[in-house]
Amino acid sequence: MTTTNGVASLRLISDEIDGFDLSPSDTEEVHVLAVDDSFVDRKVIERLLTISSCKVTAVDSGRRALQFLGLDEEQSVNGFDGLKVDLIITDYCMPGMTGYELLKKIKDSSALREIPVVIMSSENILARIDRCLEDGAEDFIVKPVKLSDVKRIKDYLTRDVNLGNEGRGINKRKARESCDLSSSPPSVITSSSSPSSPSSPFRSPSILSSSAPCSPPSTLDSPTSRLKMTISD
User: Collapsing DSSP states into helix, strand and coil, what is residue 54?
Assistant: strand
Q: How far is CA 59 from CA 10, 13, 88, in A?
A: 25, 29, 11
Q: What is the nearest approach in angstroms of another protein to the Cβ of residue 43? A: 6
Give the residue from 3, 50, 2, 44 showing the smallest Cα distance to 29.
50
Binders of another protein among residues 162 to 201 (CB under 8 A) are 192-193, 195
Burial class (CB in 10 A: 0-12, 13-18, 19+), 130: middle
Does 1 participate in binding another protein (rule CB under 8 A)? yes
Binders of another protein among residues 64 to 103 (CB under 8 A) are 93
Smaller CB separation from another protein, 9 or 210: 210
Smaller CB separation from another protein, 26 or 41: 41
Q: What is the x/- site pattern for another protein, positions 121-160, by CB under 8 A?
A: -x--------------------xxxxx-------------
Among 43, 84, 174, 228, binds another protein (CB under 8 A): 43
Q: Are 52 and 29 in contact (CB under 8 A)?
A: no
